[in-house]
A and B are shown apart, each in its own frame.
Chain A
Amino acid sequence: MELDEMKSLWADLSLQVEKQDKIQKELLMEITKKKFRSKLNAIRIPEIIGSLFCVGYAMYLLSHFSDFELWYNQIFALISIFILLALPTASLSAINGMRNLKVESESPSKILEEFLLSKQRFLKVQRYSIVLGGILMLALISPIAELNGSIEKISNPIFWLFYLIIGPVFMYILSKWAYKKYKGTIDSSEKMLQELE
Chain B
Amino acid sequence: MSKEEAFVNLIHQNQGLIYKIATIYAKEKAEQDDLYQEIVYQTWKSFDHFKKASKPSTWLYRVGMNTAITHLNKSKKQLSMLPFDQVTIQFTESNDSEKEEKIQLLYTQIRKLNLLDRGIIFLFLEEKTYEEIAEISGISVSNVGTRMSRIRQKLKSEMNPKSTTDGTR
Taking Cβ atoms with an 8 Å cutoff, the residues of A that contact B are 1-3, 6-7, 9-14, 16-18, 20, 22-25, 27-32, 34-36, 38-39, 42, 98, 101, 103-112, 115-116, 119, 192, 195-196
List 13 additional A-B contacts (Cβ < 8 Å) besides A104-B46, A111-B66, A195-B116: A1-B102, A6-B125, A12-B103, A17-B19, A20-B16, A23-B86, A27-B84, A31-B84, A42-B80, A103-B67, A104-B50, A104-B62, A108-B66
Is residue B159 contacting chain A, with contact meaning CB distance below 8 A?
yes
Compute the total of residue contacts between A and B using a CB distance below 8 Å.
152
If A1-B106, A16-B91 touch, whether A29 touches B12 (CB-CB below 8 Å) is no
- Residues in chain B near residue A196, CB distance under 8 A: 116
Within the complex, which residue of B41, B65, B119, B160 is in contact with A35, where a contact is CB–CB below 8 Å?
B41
Taking Cβ atoms with an 8 Å cutoff, the residues of B that contact A are 4, 7-9, 11-12, 15-16, 19-20, 37-38, 40-42, 44-46, 49-50, 59, 62-63, 65-67, 69-70, 73-74, 78, 80, 82, 84, 86-87, 91-92, 94, 99, 102-103, 105-106, 114-116, 119, 124-127, 136-139, 152, 155-156, 159-160
If A24-B86, A31-B87 touch, whether A109 touches B139 (CB-CB below 8 Å) is yes
If A17-B16, A104-B49 touch, whether A23 touches B87 (CB-CB below 8 Å) is yes
Q: How far is the CA of A69 from the CA of B114 in the complex (A)?
A: 60
A125 to chain B minimum Cβ distance, whole angstroms, is 15
Q: How far is the CA of A30 from the CA of B86 in the complex (A)?
A: 12
B16 and A14 contact, CB distance less than 8 A: yes
B155 and A108 contact, CB distance less than 8 A: no
